[in-house]
Amino acid sequence: MTRAAVLLCCLACLPTDPTKVGFATLAGFDYTEGMTLPKEVASLDEQTVTIAGFMRREVPGSGPIGEFLLINDACGCNGTPKLNEIVFCTLPDGVTMDEKPGVVTVTGKLYVGETKEEGVVVMLYQMDADTVQ
Amino acid sequence: MTRVNAVRLLLWTTLSVPLLALWPQGQDAAADDWAAHVQKACTSPRYGLRLAAARKLAEGGDAPVPAIRDWARQHGRNQLPAALVDAIADADPKAHGPAVLALLREWSEDADFFWRAAAMRGLALRAAATAAPGRHELAAWFARCHDDPAWLMRTHARLGSALLDDPDAASRPEADPRARVRLAALLLGQGRVPPLQPLLDALADERTFRGDPWGRRLGAEAHKALKAWLGEAHPLADGGSFADKPAAITALLAAAAAKSGQSLQPPVPRTDPATPFTGGIEILSCKHGDVFVQWTAAGEVFAGLDAETEARLPAEVWQRLTQARAALPLGGDLGVVICDSMRLEWRPPDVHVKVAPGSLPAAAAIWLEQLARAVEEAGCAGLGRDLRTALTQFAGR
C-alpha cells in the first residue's frame, strides 16, 4: 500500500509531455493591443509546449544566436508577422546555435501576455526554449 | 465678465503673435521626429519596436513620406523593412494622400524592390477611392501585373482589379494554390464574396514540401478568413476547434453556403503523393517567382509546390546527376537572407542549407545548370527555364 502511494507520488512528480501547439491557435485571431486573449491561448501561459515553425533572426545577420523568432512562414515577403504570429524564443544561458533552415520544432515553457517596452507592446508570446530540433 | 474676457483675449493674442513667428522651428522639429521614427523602424534591434515605429509612420499619412524617401536614398531601398511597407499598405487609406499613393506606385514598379508585392496590395486597397484619371492608370497597372511571376504580386494586382469591379480578375486561371486562397481571403476581408470553394478546399489540405506543412497553413488562413466573414454564424467552438476535422469542415461548409448562397462541395482531402521524395529545392523569390522541385531516388522529378508536373529522367542521366550532387561541398555560411532565398535539402548525404542571392557555390550552380538541362531534355521546359532564371539570381558572384 505504502509502496503504491510512493509510486503514485513519483509518477505525479514526473514532468508531463509538452502540449503540442500550432500557429493556427496562436495566430487564429486578430490581435489588438490590450484585448482579452482567447481562452485557448491564455490557457497556454506557463505551460510546457512544443511548437513547429521557422527560425528567424530578430536582426538579419549571420553566426550563432541565443535568441530567435519562431514564425509560421518561411517567406519574409509573405506579410510581416504580427505579434500573435511570433514566438520570441530564448535559449538557455550561454547556449547558442546556428539558424536552422526549414521547419524546426521548439520545446520549452511558453509565456503568454503583452510585454511592453518604451510604452508599446513588443511581445505577446515568449518561450524559454529547451530544445530545438 | 464679457469685458474681462475681451481683455484676456487681447493679452493672449499679443503674447501669441511672437510665438507664431517661431512656428517654422516647430515644423522642423516635427520633420526631425519623422526621421527618428524612420530610423527606428529600420534599425531598432527589437522587432516589436520596429513594428511600432512602422505603425506610427503609416498612421502619419503623407507627412512622413519625405523622411522615408530620404532614408531610402541614403541607405538603399532594399534596406527598408517589410514591416514598414506592410504597415503603410494596410493602414487606413483615408489617412493617406497623393504622396503615399505615389510612393506605393513607385515601390510596386521597382522589380528589384523586395517588398513590391506589399506595395501593390497598398495600391489595390486604395484604388477604389482614387479619383480618375489616377484610377484608370491604376487599373491599367493592375492589368499589366495579372500574370507577374511572383504569386503575391499577381494576387494583389488581381485584388486591385477586382476591387475596381473587373468581373474576370478573381476568376483568372491560377496554378499556385497559395494564390487561390489568398485572393479569396483578401476579397472576403474587403466585404466582397468571391467563389468560396478555394477556401473550403484549403481546409482539407494536408500537403507538405520538404517538411513544410504548407497545406495546413493554407487551411488556417482560409479558416481565419471564413471565421471573420461569418462572424456570429461561425459554427465552431473555442474560436475554431478542428479536433474533429471532418465535422468542423462540414459545419463550416454549411455556414458558408447558407450565408453566401453558393453551392459548395465538400473538399477532397489532399495529402502528399505516396512517392517517396528523397530531395528537393525550394526557391522563394519576390522578383522572379517561387520554384519548387522534388525528386525520387529513381529520377522522377516533380515541379510545383503541389508536385503537379513530372519529368522522368533517363536512368544514366539521373545516376550521373546523383553522383555529382553527392560530391557537392555545401554547408557553412551561404549569405545573409533578407527576402529571396534558396533551400537545398536531400539525403544521402544529409544536406539542408539556405542560400542567399549571389551566394550559391560554383559547383552547386554547375549542378543546378545540369539539372535544368536534364529536365528540359525530358520535356519539362518550364522547370528548366525557372531553374536557369534562379541561377542568375543565386549563383555566386
Report in angstroms the alpha-carbon separations of B153 from B171, B248, B303, B390.
16, 32, 21, 18
- Domain limits for position A122: 16-132
- Selected for mutation to probe chain A from B110, B241, B337, B343 (highest A CB count within 10 Å) is B337
Closest approach of A3 to chain B, Cα-based (Å): 39
Long-range contacts of B126-134 (CB under 8 A, 24+ apart): B126/B93, B126/B96, B126/B101, B127/B160, B127/B163, B127/B164, B128/B163, B128/B164, B129/B93, B129/B94, B130/B101, B134/B101
Nearest-CB residue to B339 (from A58, A77, A99): A77
- Selected for mutation to probe chain B from A59, A80, A87 (highest B CB count within 10 Å) is A80
Output B246 or B4, whichever has higher pLDDT: B246
How large is the average pLDDT for residues B9-20? 48
Chain A positions touching B339 (Cβ under 8 A) are: 76-77
Which pLDDT belongs to residue A76?
Answer: 62
Instruction: Dump pLDDT digits (tens) for B315-357.
Output: 999 999 999 999 998 887 788 888 889 999 998 899 999 999 9
Which pLDDT belongs to residue B95?
Answer: 77
Which pLDDT belongs to residue A77?
Answer: 60
Chain A positions touching B86 (Cβ under 8 A) are: 79-80
Which pLDDT belongs to residue B22?
Answer: 43
Instruction: Dump pLDDT digits (tens) for B21-46.
Output: 444 444 455 555 999 999 999 999 99
Instruction: Dump pLDDT digits (tens) for B69-89.
Output: 999 999 999 999 999 999 999
Q: Tell me which residue has cell 496554378.
A: B175
Chain B positions touching A62 (Cβ under 8 A) are: 333, 336
DSSP result, B187-205: HHHTT-----HHHHHHHTB
CA closest to A121 among chain B residues? B48
CB neighbours of B221 closer than 8 A, spacing ≥ 6? B181, B182, B185, B202
Report in angstroms the alpha-carbon separations of B32 from B28, B35, B42.
6, 5, 15
Hey, is the C-beta of B48 within 8 angstroms of any chain A C-beta? yes
- Selected for mutation to probe chain A from B37, B46, B206 (highest A CB count within 10 Å) is B46
- Judge: A117–B46 Cβ closer than 8 Å, yes or no: yes
Report in angstroms the alpha-carbon separations of B178 from B28, B201, B239, B289, B338.
46, 12, 23, 13, 21
- Judge: B48–A52 Cβ closer than 8 Å, yes or no: no
Chain A positions touching B52 (Cβ under 8 A) are: 118, 120-122
- Judge: B239–A29 Cβ closer than 8 Å, yes or no: yes
Note whether residue A123 is domain-resident: yes
Instruction: Dump pLDDT digits (tens) for B90-130.
Output: 998 887 789 999 999 999 999 999 999 999 999 999 999 99
Which pLDDT belongs to residue B21?
Answer: 44
Mean residue pLDDT across chain A: 87
- Judge: A40–B238 Cβ closer than 8 Å, yes or no: yes
Q: Which of residues 106-125 of B touch A (CB under 8 A)?
A: 114-115, 117-118
Helix (H, G, I), strand (E, B), or coil: what is residue A67? Answer: strand
Please give the Cα distance from B28 to B173 (Å, whole number). Answer: 51
Note whether residue A10 is domain-resident: no
Nearest-CB residue to A103 (from B211, B220, B341): B211
Which pLDDT belongs to residue B25?
Answer: 42
| Residue A78 pLDDT greater than 90, yes or no | no
Note whether residue A125 is domain-resident: yes
Count Cβ–Cβ pairs < 8 Å, chain A vs chain B. 108
Chain A positions touching B240 (Cβ under 8 A) are: 24, 28
Note whether residue A118 is domain-resident: yes
Q: What angle do CA B288, B284, A124 make, to 5 degrees?
A: 135
Q: Residue A105: which CATH number?
A: 2.40.50.870
- Judge: A73–B217 Cβ closer than 8 Å, yes or no: yes
Which amino acid would we find at residue B20? L
Which pLDDT belongs to residue B32?
Answer: 59
Write the Ramachandran bin of B179: left for phi over 0, alpha for psi from -120 to 50, otherwise beta. alpha
Please give the Cα distance from B286 to B289 (Å, whole number). Answer: 6
Nearest-CB residue to A123 (from B48, B87, B227): B48
Hey, is the C-beta of B99 within 8 angstroms of any chain A C-beta? no
Instruction: Dump pLDDT digits (tens) for A13-67.
Output: 445 789 999 998 999 888 999 999 999 999 999 999 999 999 998 888 888 999 9
Relative to beta strand B341-346, strand B300-303 is unpaired
ipTM value for the complex: 0.82
Chain B positions touching A57 (Cβ under 8 A) are: none
Which pLDDT belongs to residue B17?
Answer: 45
Note whether residue A50 is domain-resident: yes
Please give the Cα distance from B235 to B248 (Å, whole number). Answer: 8
Task: Name the strand (E) or helix (H) holding A56.
Answer: strand A47-56
Which pLDDT belongs to residue A80?
Answer: 84
Please give the Cα distance from B143 to B126 (Å, whole number). Answer: 16
Backbone angles phi, psi at B107, to 5 degrees: -65, -45
- Judge: B345–A79 Cβ closer than 8 Å, yes or no: no
- Selected for mutation to probe chain A from B43, B47, B120, B292 (highest A CB count within 10 Å) is B47
Instruction: Dump pLDDT digits (tens) for B269-285.
Output: 999 988 789 999 999 99
Nearest-CB residue to B339 (from A61, A76, A100): A76
Hey, is the C-beta of B316 within 8 angstroms of any chain A C-beta? no
Question: What is the number of domains present in chain A?
Answer: 1
